[in-house]
Structure 1
């Protein structure tokens, strides 16, 4: 935070009228109203008070920001990646505390840790679970917990990304597919099943994401099928070529792969048109996800208090005294987690 500069006014540089003023009841008021010295001195005092109050307020906010600890949820809109959204959240918090991010990257004495557990595609929206402070240590538990999605699939078109953001790679007829046909095959995709992850994903080959390699035009082989769990799967609506699914699944599951596999099972093809995560663990989109206008230190503090009761006892954070802090020595550690299991469940610091 840049300190507010206090103006210094020398009394010798201020001139007053030399004409005598009669001693009357209104002398003080008249002098205050007409004396440049008095007006200037009052302005300087007011400015000093305002600057001091601002410094105290920012310091208090910085202290409160560093004391935040736990897990809460935000509402991710379509467009930004999960990492980009987390960076936007970080920037808003730093700005509110009076700490531009450039200052935070230079300081290492005290650290604000913030991260997310469970990546959402850039084209998807919904619940994104965020950990702050010591809450980042329990984000891995969010990866294995259940998640719920509402997905709109489009029959008749396949894309390289398995969603509407990709290039169309195949088109097949779908006009003979009925609602009963879709409902009849959903059982095949329920329970403990095997699933091949998309090529455009956060999974890695030789230390690089498959999606990054694909964008570079590199030859990438599909990962082998792996076990995943679908707790429930139902058809909400069918209006050809679109069908809406309600899916509850475990960690490491890809909705894009599910929709693509459903299209193939129906002797056609399909891609994801819209995807919304409505629930992750105990956090729901309607009740717990903070919209961007609520990304303030106070609102997040209230959300952390409210959400603490949602976590299992073994994950609850013990309360500790807030760290003593100064807005001059804050830094930020930016953490993200992939939504995949095994070797991909790692904390990354930027």
Structure 2
């Protein structure tokens, strides 16, 4: 499961316009004589006004927040699910609002988690998508469960077993003693199954096709802290805080080799990304509503450095947002797997 740092930005066209004014209700006997058809029309009109207000509020959201990604969907699939829920809540798009001025909902995620991993996924909405670069260059924290004695081609439990070695003589002291070797500024070889590219295609895609792929050279990465939380052979649990471009799968595999055995990742959870923590800031799916996200954006604004505070939009910016298709890195040093993708 890679800690490869990528961000994805997508857009959806929202059609908004002046909300239809509710029909006059009249007074006195006229009110009492209102026909069922008129009442139904009034109810429909009020519902439309409500949806228009929600759409306007959705388009006004800007900033960075976090969601809780479960195991299963990819980060991109989760982003689409989030976007669809917000559009549905706002009643967008609506056939009744055709021919009206369109605006674009811009939403993106940063710091991709593999489908088998879960935890904090940082999301930018509106002008907040432009903040992902600075926000995601900070540290990340993970809890990883490794398995000794078994290696796979993907370096995690989703892959094919490529090697098995004994582990029964490995003690907790052996494991704790080896961790210091992987702390600080170290060199790390990325996994073959990764978002790194060769000739414009991901290595993982080439591997799945059965094509021969050479490992990328080792590159400098940073591990701020690394500790053993639990050891029940063959399983061990690590708490890792690292910088950008770091792969937990490679770490676990390298630890196995250093112990004269082998290892792969069974479970991976990102508990912190930048200032966002899983317990305090990550919204579960039942909180993916316009109001909950608005509250989260307000709550999380105090986490941002002053220089990243969102400025009030200029008048012309409030009329129509445009998705900028650009490639930018998420780390100070550009990496092939550290890009914002647009779709």
For residue 60 of structure 2, the aligned residue among 62, 67, 81 is 67
In structure 1, how many angstroms separate the alpha carbons of the residues matched to 2:22 and 2:253?
94
State the shift of 1:143 in Å: 3.2
- RMSD between aligned alpha carbons? 11.3
State the shift of 1:320 in Å: 3.1
State the shift of 1:135 in Å: 0.6
Whether the 8 Å contact between 2:67 and 2:284 is mirrored in structure 1 is yes
Aligned residues: 343
State the shift of 1:332 in Å: 13
State the shift of 1:333 in Å: 12
Comparing 22-31 and 190-199, the one that deviates more: 22-31
In structure 2, how many angstroms separate the alpha carbons of the residues matched to 1:13 and 1:122?
27
Decide whether aligned partners of structure 1 residues 106 and 75 sit closer, same or farther in structure 2, where only a CA change above 3 A counts.
farther
State the shift of 1:342 in Å: 2.3
Whether the 8 Å contact between 1:338 and 1:346 is mirrored in structure 2 is no
In structure 1, how many angstroms separate the alpha carbons of the residues matched to 2:309 and 2:89?
27
In structure 1, how many angstroms separate the alpha carbons of the residues matched to 2:207 and 2:259?
27
Q: Where do 1:233-312 residues align within 5 Å? A: 233-312=226-305
State the shift of 1:216 in Å: 1.0
Whether the 8 Å contact between 1:66 and 1:133 is mirrored in structure 2 is yes
Whether the 8 Å contact between 2:164 and 2:262 is mirrored in structure 1 is yes
What does the per-residue CA deviation read over 1:163-215, in whole Å, with 9 as the maximum and x for residues that have no partner? 01111111000000000000001000000000000111111111111111111
Decide whether aligned partners of structure 1 residues 50 and 141 sit closer, same or farther in structure 2, where only a CA change above 3 A counts.
same
In structure 1, how many angstroms separate the alpha carbons of the residues matched to 2:287 and 2:247?
30
Whether the 8 Å contact between 1:82 and 1:122 is mirrored in structure 2 is yes
State the shift of 1:340 in Å: 9.6
Comparing 238-247 and 109-118, the one that deviates more: 109-118
What does the per-residue CA deviation read over 1:53-108, in whole Å, with 9 as the maximum and x for residues that have no partner? 11101111111111100000000000001011001001101111111499999999
The gaps in structure 2 that reach 5 residues or longer are none
Whether the 8 Å contact between 2:3 and 2:245 is mirrored in structure 1 is no
Who wins on radius of gyration, i.e. which is larger?
Answer: 1
TM-score (norm 1): 0.81
In structure 2, how many angstroms separate the alpha carbons of the residues matched to 1:173 and 1:259?
16
Decide whether aligned partners of structure 1 residues 107 and 122 sit closer, same or farther in structure 2, where only a CA change above 3 A counts.
farther
TM-score (norm 2): 0.83
Decide whether aligned partners of structure 1 residues 137 and 25 sit closer, same or farther in structure 2, where only a CA change above 3 A counts.
closer
What does the per-residue CA deviation read over 1:23-58, in whole Å, with 9 as the maximum and x for residues that have no partner? 9999999998999999xxxxxxx2111100111011
